[in-house]
Every structure is written in C-alpha cells, then in structure tokens.
Amino acid sequence: MNDSVIYLDYHATAPPDRRVVEAMAPFLGEGFGNPHAVSHAVGWAAKEAVEAARRKVAMLASADPDEIVFTSGATEANNLAILGLLASPENAGPKHAGAYVITAATEHPSVLACMAALEESGTAVTVLPVGADGLIDPDNLRRALQPETKLVSIMAANNEIGVLQPITEIGAICREAGALFHCDAAQAFGKVAIDLAAVDLLSVTSHKLHGPMGVGALYVRRGVRLRPLIYGGRQERGLRSGTLPTPLCVGFGEACRIAAAERAAEAGRLARLRDRLLDGLRRIAPDLRVNGSLQRRLPGNLNVALPGVDAEALLLELPGLALSTGSACATGQSGPSHVLRAIGLPDELAHGSLRFGLGRFTSEAEIERALAMIADALARIGPAQAV
C-alpha cells in the first residue's frame, strides 16, 4: 500500500488483512485444483478448502453452511436475492397489484437498479422514505405492506452515512405480514451484530471485510426458493453455476474468522477514533453537521457536511488523504448522492459533505495527521469556516 497516503475510505473497500493474503497464497499455486472435480485428490483438497471457508462465513453470519451461496460479491447477491426470488415459480403471476416489493430510498445502487428493472417489467415497487436520521419509520413499513407484498429489501448499514436500520423490528413486521425480508449487509457484516433470525436473505461481501475482491455470499434461509440468474454446471445447489474461485473463497473465510475473533474489540477502538475525529473536525469547522443519526451508526463511519465548503475542491487540496465526498453517488455520476437527498440535505450542504471510513489499520496518529491536513486545506481554500 502507499504509505504516504492516509486511507480513510474503508466503505469503498477495506485493505486485505495480511493473514488473509497468507491464507490465499497456497491456492494461487500448488492448491490450484477445481473444487468441483471430485474424482481425484487435487480436486478434493480444493473442495475441502472451499467448504472450510463456507463454514467460517456461516459461523460469522450465525447460519448453517448449506444456507450460504457463494457469489462474486454483494452486487450479485442482491441481484440473486431480489430478481431470483421474484422469478421463482411460486411468484409466477401478476406482480402489479399492491406493493409487491418494498424497499427504501437510501439503498445501494445494486438494489435500487434491480427495483427499477422490476418496475419496468410491471412489478409494483414501493420505495419508503427515510427521516433526517437516515432511518426508515417502522410504522411506514407497516402501512406500506399489502397482502400481496412478497419481498421487503432494506439494508443493514448504509454505505454512505453508516446508519443502522432496525433490522430486528423490520424482520418481525415482515414475518407478521407474510413477506420475505432481504437485507443488504455488505457494510454491516463483521462490523456490528446482525440478527439473522430476523432475515430470510442476507447479502454480504468479502472486500469490505479485509478479504479479497470478487467474492461474496447470499445467505438463503432454508425453505426460501429462488430461481438462479446464472445457469450451468449447477454448482452452489444449482443457484449459482460456475467454478468457485478457491483462493477467493479461502480469503473470504479467513476474513470472516478474523472478524469473528476481533470484531468486538475493533468496534470499540473505531468508535473512539471516530469520536476523536468528530471532535477535531468540530474544532476546525464549528458549524459542521453530522449527516444521519450519530448514535445508530457503524463505529467506523462519519459523514459530515461543512457549510460553505466545496468538498471536491477540498479533496483536491488533500492529496495525502484517501477520502470520499458525500456527493458522488456512483462511478461517473455527479450531483448530490441519492442518500443525502433522501435525508433532506439541501444541495449546498450535500456538495460540502465528506465521508470518512475508518477501519482496522486506522491509527490515532493518522487521525491527528488527517485533522491537521484538513485544517490546512480549509485555510487555503476556505472563507471564514477555517479557524
């Protein structure tokens, strides 16, 4: 990694843990076997490694290993959960009545784009608003649910503002109404506890958890029937064909093992670092606003609006920081993010918003240095807000 840059973009991706890389290495070499080639020892060794990894993912999720379907990441897991469920034979028939599917305005693009595709093909989709705190109102969900509602898709932790939706309560409401509950837990998995009992489908990804990119999983509660999106050799119980990437699965498994062992201590440390960052930023910019609920939030997330500041111009003055603005919502798109819009942030404040993502390798010294760099940069570009 580039040691001269302070990495504060853990929501985009988390640097691979050294232990993960070491666990993967043998499977990029002599452990090259196809885990589905079960007629010889080379295949068996790979299969064993993949199944050990599946057990580690399942353990962190509190699931059974046979409820874990490996995918290429959370984007694919979200697509499989949403499109696969609605395409299942049980869900044949008209989908235009009632709120057939319910989601929230602040979901990840990989969920919202599935919803748009469903709508285009005539499925009734209801999008719940969120409050200024970034959270849905459970009463709104109760009111939106219809007898026809098949699926509710609401994320565990938001990737921009880090807020934690009330998963247990949402799950209970869905179950009472007879709807299935899919939860995109790409940011929450391994960072905060997730009440799996509340959920029917859970999307997770390795690279947000210090594992390799290109692998993730969908937890599918036993009895929930999906139609695959990818057909072929019927790997992953026919739900996701294609040869599993042994090294990636092994790395993901190791990342889950480490998270299970270290999550609690890491969360406490990150929350303290985050609070130190917020204190420091408030000293530099007293009129700063925290975007979304500060209390119900991932320990490593901070998203703030600096009134009167152009966040993009500020980042240009901060080449030593790897940091995101709050305004770029997806690759190549400009304009305020749909998340900041959804919490009611005026465009000027959205353009002055920064997303800090802290993680396993963030040190107190880095936070102090980042604060000094931000104070300097604001003094260079800023009008009055730099003190």
Q: Cα(382)–Cα(387) distance, rounded to whole angstroms?
A: 10
Q: Cα(131)–Cα(124) distance, rounded to whole angstroms?
A: 23
Q: Is position 216 an interface residue for ligand PLP (rule: CB under 6 A)?
A: yes
Give, to the nearest 10 degrees, the angle between helix 41-61 and helix 246-284: 30
DSSP readout, 154-168? Answer: --SB-TTT-BBP-HH
Site for ligand PLP (CB under 6 A): which residue of 46, 60, 63, 74? 74
Known catalytic residue: 183?
A: no
- Spatial CA neighbour of 385 closest among 286, 290, 313, 312: 286
Binding span for ligand PLP by CB under 6 A among 73-81, 85-93, 135-143, 145-153: 73-81
Q: Is position 73 an interface residue for ligand PLP (rule: CB under 6 A)?
A: yes
Secondary-structure percent of the chain, ordered helix, strand, coil, rounded to 5 = 40, 15, 45
> 81 or 284: whose CB is closer to ligand PLP?
81
Minimum Å distance from CB 98 to ligand PLP?
26
Is the sign of the CA dihedral 149, 137, 114, 98 positive or negative?
Answer: positive
Q: Is position 362 an interface residue for ligand PLP (rule: CB under 6 A)?
A: no
Catalytic residue among 114, 174, 249, 329: 329
> 104 or 349: whose CB is closer to ligand PLP?
104
Q: Is position 110 an interface residue for ligand PLP (rule: CB under 6 A)?
A: yes
Site for ligand PLP (CB under 6 A): which residue of 103, 149, 159, 353? 159
Minimum Å distance from CB 250 to ligand PLP?
17
Q: Is position 165 an interface residue for ligand PLP (rule: CB under 6 A)?
A: no
Do strands 101-104 and 151-153 pair parallel, antiparallel, or not at all (unpaired)? Answer: parallel
Q: Cα(366)–Cα(382) distance, rounded to whole angstroms?
A: 23
> 45 or 204: whose CB is closer to ligand PLP?
204
Q: Is position 187 an interface residue for ligand PLP (rule: CB under 6 A)?
A: yes
Binding span for ligand PLP by CB under 6 A among 56-64, 83-91, 183-191, 303-311: 183-191
> 149 or 159: whose CB is closer to ligand PLP?
159
Q: How far is CA 67 from CA 82, 189, 217, in A?
A: 16, 16, 10
Contact between residue 345 and residue 305 where contact means Cβ atoms under 8 Å apart: yes
> 107 or 200: whose CB is closer to ligand PLP?
107
CB-based closest residue to ligand PLP: 73
* Element of type H or E holding 102: strand 101-104
- Residues that are catalytic: 329
Q: Which residues bind ligand PLP (CB under 6 A)?
A: 73-75, 108, 110, 155, 159, 184, 186-187, 205, 208, 216
